[in-house]
A and B are shown apart, each in its own frame.
Chain A
Amino acid sequence: KQEVTQIPAALSVPEGENLVLNCSFTDSAIYNLQWFRQDPGKGLTSLLLIQSSQREQTSGRLNASLDKSSGRSTLYIAASQPGDSATYLCAVSGNSGGSNYKLTFGKGTLLTVNP
């Protein structure tokens, strides 16, 4: 059974700081990994998708890496801004549990960027 863990559970940083969020998963047989952002009480916004054959993806100030063999991914946020404050969720898709392509999520990291 796939399990996803995100560390830390919460993070508070001053504006302008670079930061790293961590995600680990137990079953390396994944199809892809997605990072999502969730604002309070809202739906999920996809930030980056890394296919299993890729090592990293970049979008603006965001960079996500994937090490499938060790079951780890990191989300790097450069020059953080107060508007980056949200919960960041990591999710992997695969055939775990007998359902093709279902997403298994971590519990998320609550990020607060202080002005």
Chain B
Amino acid sequence: DAGVTQSPTHLIKTRGQHVTLRCSPISGHKSVSWYQQVLGQGPQFIFQYYEKEERGRGNFPDRFSARQFPNYSSELNVNALLLGDSALYLCASSPGGPTLTRNYGYTFGSGTRLTVV
């Protein structure tokens, strides 16, 4: 079975531009979460989606948005890019639902490395 798939793997954007990152969860998983990891830090929570609804949002500005599609894949959008948005963006997949997530935890993708110049 394929794991969590993220695309693209690397991306270079200019300040002020917009970017879209994509994630496909493990087959059968219904929950997708997004994390931002800057160099030398642990990942920081951005969003969680379950059954196509936003279930949680971290302390990020409104320039960050996301959505989940009927096939449970997800997009993370960032508008008006700043230099400080340069980071590794990680997608995490979980079976979804409180009990399943409690028992099985999260599986992460390989990430998208975003560089803003």
Contact = CB atoms under 8 A, between A and B. Distances in A.
Given A31-B102, A51-B102, A104 B108 contact: no
B58 to A, nearest CB: 7
Interface of B: 6, 33, 35, 40-45, 48, 55-58, 88, 90, 92, 94, 98, 101-111, 113
B42 A106 contact: yes
Interface residue tally on A, bucketed by range: 20 to 34
Contacts of A46: 105-108
A51 B113 CA distance: 31
A98 interface: yes
A89 B108 CA distance: 13
Nearest first, the 4 A-B pairs at minimum CB distance are A99-B56, A105-B42, A43-B110, A44-B108
17 contacts: A4-B42, A44-B90, A46-B106, A46-B107, A49-B105, A52-B102, A93-B101, A97-B58, A99-B45, A99-B48, A99-B56, A100-B48, A100-B56, A101-B98, A102-B48, A103-B92, A105-B43
Interface of A: 4, 31-32, 34, 36, 41-46, 49, 51-52, 89, 91, 93, 97-108
Determine which residue in A43, A49, A91 has the highest number of CB atoms from chain B within 10 A of its CB, and name it. Answer: A43
Contacts of B40: 107
Nearest to A102: B45
A33 to B, nearest CB: 9
B113 to A, nearest CB: 7
Contacts of B56: 98-102
Nearest to B96: A101
A77 B41 CA distance: 23
